[in-house]
Amino acid sequence: MKKKILFFLLVSGLSFSQQKNLKITDLPPKSEDFTFPKVSYPEKPLIENKINTFLQVNQLEYIPGSKISPSQLVSTGKTSYFNYVYFYGWEKLETPKNILSIAINGEASGAYPEGFDIWKNFDLRTGNLINAKDLFQPNSIKTVENLIQKTIKKKVNDFLTELKSEKNSSEKVLE
């Protein structure tokens, strides 16, 4: 019995320390317009590489190890978006032990600047991106999408009702 408890404590300690060894820092070159996450996971370098490669290719259109700076394409508008993209910050979100969630915020500039927030979730056992399809059964995804659509529609309708109810509406509000 004592051996089983000792074994359990050892395994628990190792699994709970799993995320303690995972660190996220800023991908160089950090600047006022470029603060992008870089994952460091010394115990699992293949998973670290997989997550960093995904994030950099997906968001920066940068291939890690290229001779150019990671921020060069997005900061000069030379990505497939043809816009300047600024990354202002990131945050590691609190999650269960085998999940890594990162929130990234920024702004894309075209004719008008538009802010954005991106959330990416990874399985720390494999390094794979976690999608909605990984979390829900196929028939449940449509239900979740419908709930989100209803919530958005309600928020928009409530906002429009509030605008219409203002007594001294300006021309801009009326538009």
Number of Cβ within 10 Å of residue 90's Cβ equals: 21
Which pLDDT value is given to residue 132? 77
Which ranges in the chain are annotated with CATH 3.30.565?
2-130
CATH class of 2-130: alpha beta
d(CA 21, CA 91): 17
Tokens of residue 175, six digits: 């538009």
Three-state DSSP at 142 gives helix
CA angle centred on 106, ends 59 and 145, rounded to 5°: 75
Which pLDDT value is given to residue 172? 67
CA angle centred on 63, ends 39 and 100, rounded to 5°: 25
pTM: 0.73
Q: Where are the alpha helices (DSSP H) in the chain?
A: 2-16, 45-55, 72-75, 132-135, 138-165, 171-174
Assess contact for 114 and 108: CB atoms under 8 A. yes
Cis peptide before 29, with omega less than 30 degrees from 0? yes
The pLDDT profile of the chain, 175 residues, written as one tens digit per residue, is 444 444 444 444 444 445 678 999 999 999 999 999 999 999 999 999 999 999 999 999 999 989 999 999 998 888 887 789 999 999 999 999 999 999 999 999 878 889 999 999 999 999 999 987 887 888 888 888 888 899 999 999 988 888 778 777 677 666 6
